[in-house]
Every structure is written in C-alpha cells, then in structure tokens.
Amino acid sequence: MATRTAQAPTTAQMLSDSLSKLAVTNWSPNALKAQVPFNHNVVDTIFKKELLGSGFSVRRIMLLEFSQYLENYLWPNYSSENSSAEYVVSIVCMVNEKYREAVPAWEPFKNKPENFEYFFKQVMDLILNEEVPLQQRTILIIFMDHCYNSLEIDVVRSQVQRTVSLAMWQNLLPAKLRQELKKSGKLRKAWKSILKKDSKLNAETKTRNDFDRSFLQTAMNKFCKMIACKELDKCTVEYCQWFLGLIIDLDSCLPTRRWFNTVLSDCHLVVRCMKSTLYENDDVFTQLT
C-alpha cells in the first residue's frame, strides 16, 4: 500500500496532465453525453506514447485507470474490426492495474460480454506470437493468471474452461494417454464422448477447439525452449518468472489442476527448469521451480 501511495500522482498533477486532457475530450462524462465519436488514433497514440513510450510506467497506467479509460473508451468501443494488438494490450494493462490497486476488474466486461471470446482468443494468439516483444507478452501472461484465478466470473470462466478441460489430453503422448485412461472407466467413457462430439464438428470449430486445448502445452513448450538458452536478458528472465507463477497457480487450484497436471507432467517442465542455467543463476526462478 505504501508503494501504491508513493507512486500515485497528486490531484494537481492529474488535472494538468496531457492524459487527463485527452480523457476530458474523448471519454469523460461530458464527452460521452455529447456523443464524441470514437477515434482509434487516440488509442494508438496513447499506446505508443504513454504506454510503450514510458516502458509501461505504473504512473501513466494509473492515470489512465483513474480516468476510466477501460470502462468509458476501450471496452465499449472494442470489436473484432478494430482490435489491433495495441488495443488488446491496452485493455490488458488496465485490467492488470485494477488488480494492482485491488479494485474490481471485471465489471466493464459485463457489458458486451459477447466480445470477450474474441478478445480472449487474441490474448492467447499474442502470447504465442514470438514476434510480440517479451515485455508485452509478460503483461499478457500476468493477465492470463488473473483470468485463471477468476473462475467465479461467468464471462471469464466460459473461456478459461476451454483451455483446461479433459479434452486438453489430446496433446498427451499416445502411450501416456492410454496409461491415464486405463485408470478409470468413467474417464474412458468421457473421452469417447469427446471424440464422438469432435467427429461431428465442422473444420472451423475443430480448429478453434484444437487451438484452445493446445494453448497451455504450446506455451509451455515455447517457455522450455526459451530457458534452454545459455544467456537470457532481463526481459526474458522476468517473463520466465511470471510464467512459472502462472503454472503454479494453474496447478494449485483444483478446477484448473484436475486435467492440467497430467499435461504438465507430460511436458517434464519442472525437470527442464532444473536443468536450465536460469535455475542456477536466478534465485527467484529457483524458488518458483
């Protein structure tokens, strides 16, 4: 709390800040009342100058959160047509800041919940995209951790469950899958039901299901490839620390652990962490492992 207070700008600083002036013009109560049209360039400018340009400064993000940037501008105007990577990361930054400030984070998404599915898919795409800068992927991983820890929120749970259901076992090695299914008749019956339903799906739906089910394993494989490098910069180390934090939370919560733990074991992630140079050189990574 002391850290939050120390970083908080004064009222005078907030009122005189360029971000506050942008808020007054575009998404303040008066602007909304006047029905000022949405301008995508405003989002792009704020991202490039205030977020990316400041190294995602907590102080700048705090000002945006204070102005209700997410509630009044980002989410109400979000759609698949204007959902650039910069737009998605901007939304994620605001949610992460709400968590940092310990205020309710998911209320804005109760409006237009139908858009959350596409948004969540975009977040997963960006996490797996190695062309996205690591600092931004770290921000996205932190957001995903918040999602997996928010199963009580309907709009979040409906998307999260797609990535941690029994169907994710399709990524197991065939021998491992047979070994696990032998343990229970109920499991074998449930697995046959999944296969039967999948056989009736069209190509588009099947592709989406495969992506959801393989997301965590793909992310873990990319992570293991990352830690296999001998030399890692500061951004990479920070990403690896946060990624392990996500894995710990997934494996600590019963609803997510139930099927995920088997996939985690099949990836040998812990062993691969212990064999990495990062395990020897970074105390935080060692403790998380």
Instruction: Select from 149, 156, 47, 157 the least CA-distant residue to 109.
Output: 156
Query: What is the reported pTM?
Result: 0.93
Residue 19 CB neighbours (<10 A): 20
> Model confidence over 243-253: pLDDT tens digits?
999 999 999 99
Q: How confident is the model at residue 8 (pLDDT cuts 50, 70, 90)?
A: low
End-to-end CA distance of the chain: 28
Model pLDDT for residues 154-210, shown as the tens digit of each residue: 999 999 999 999 999 999 999 999 999 999 999 999 999 999 999 999 999 999 999
Residue 4 above 70 pLDDT?
Answer: no
Residue 91 CA to residue 86 CA, distance in Å, equals 9
Spatial distance between the Cα atoms of 278 and 286, rounded to a whole number of angstroms: 8
Confidence of residue 14 (pLDDT cuts 50, 70, 90): low
Q: Which amino acid is at 32?
A: L
Whether residue 109 is contained in a domain is answered as yes
Domain span holding position 71: 9-164
Residue 94 covered by a domain: yes
Domain membership of residue 3 (yes or no) is no
Count of domains for the chain: 1
Closest CA to 43 of 76, 7, 9, 2: 76
Copy the structure tokens of residue 245. 């934090």
Average pLDDT over residues 86-94: 98
Q: Is residue 76 included in any domain, yes or no?
A: yes
Answer yes or no: is 33 within a domain: yes
Question: Would you say residue 144 lies in a domain?
Answer: yes
The answer to whether position 159 is within a domain reads yes
With respect to residue 188, please indicate whether it lies within any of the assigned structural domains.
no
Angle at 18 between CA 15 and CA 20, to 5 degrees: 45
Structure tokens at 9: 């700008």
